[in-house]
Amino acid sequence: MPTYRDEVVVLRTHKLGEADRIVTLLSRRHGKLRAVAKGVRRTSSRFGSRLEPFMVADVQLYQGRSLDIVQQAESLGAYGADIAVHYDRYTAASAMVETADRLNEAEATPQQYLLLVGGLRSLARGEHVSRSILDSYLLRAMALSGWAPALDECARCSRVGPHDAFVAQLGGMVCGDCAPVGSARLAPETARLLQSLMSGEWDDVDAAAPAATAAASGLIAAYAQWHLERGIRSLSHVEAPR
């Protein structure tokens, strides 16, 4: 059986036997992978700490019949420690890797890998509010999967905005004629914030009022979970923006 190398982000792990782990990885070139890391739970393991959630590594894998086997792992981004010591960073990172784990194989592209690495790096460095990093990641991850929300025009009739209603089930912003009764109404600042989070205009994101940030976070969470067709469990632990 052949061996191969790739850059990976560790999404999750679970125990196997007395000393092994099964690791779920998002790789740069091979999509999502599940592999056995033998002996990594022993204190003498050479690379156990490099295969923890939120870590980025260059790995060599042996192609097995059902699960590949990790043969080597070299750290490329040791983000786990800096994320784990801050509750807000940890919960945001958990929601990000859970979202990445929900991607099907066709959606697990190099762009998704780079987006996740960038988000984890930003969290580890504390560059912005953790919830805003998560919100930006969710919007962009949905866009890369073909579910970009309509923010500039009506998602239903394509009428050019600005509009003040957001309906996750319809695909984003909708005009007054298309908005169902009871649709969430957005303040103009919230609508602008959604666009800034999508485009990465961090000066505008960081300067947004808490009310707009909280409103945008709720809409983004609803939108992502609607398109993933089930809840993101980690989102229930993410602190609300203040």
Give the H/E segment covering residue 10.
strand 3-16
C-alpha atoms less than 13 angstroms from C-alpha of 141 in its C-beta half-sphere: 32
Per-residue pLDDT reduced to its tens digit, 88-114: 999 999 999 999 998 877 788 999 999
Amino acid symbol at 156: R
Distance CA 190, CA 218 (A): 11
Distance CA 89, CA 108 (A): 23
DSSP characters over 45-92: -SSGGGGSTT-EEEEEEE--SSSEEEEEEEEEE--HHHHHTSHHHHHH
pLDDT at position 118 is 96
**Under a CB-based contact definition with an 8 Å cutoff, are residues 232 and 96 in contact?**
no
Per-residue pLDDT reduced to its tens digit, 4-19: 999 999 999 988 878 8
Do β-strands 32-37 and 68-77 pair in parallel, antiparallel, or remain unpaired?
parallel
pLDDT per residue, tens digit, the chain (242 aa), is 599 999 999 999 988 878 888 999 999 999 999 999 887 777 666 776 788 899 999 999 998 888 889 988 888 988 988 999 999 999 999 999 999 998 877 788 999 999 999 999 999 999 999 999 999 999 999 999 989 999 989 998 999 978 889 998 899 999 988 988 888 788 999 999 999 999 999 999 999 999 999 999 999 998 998 888 777 888 877 866 55
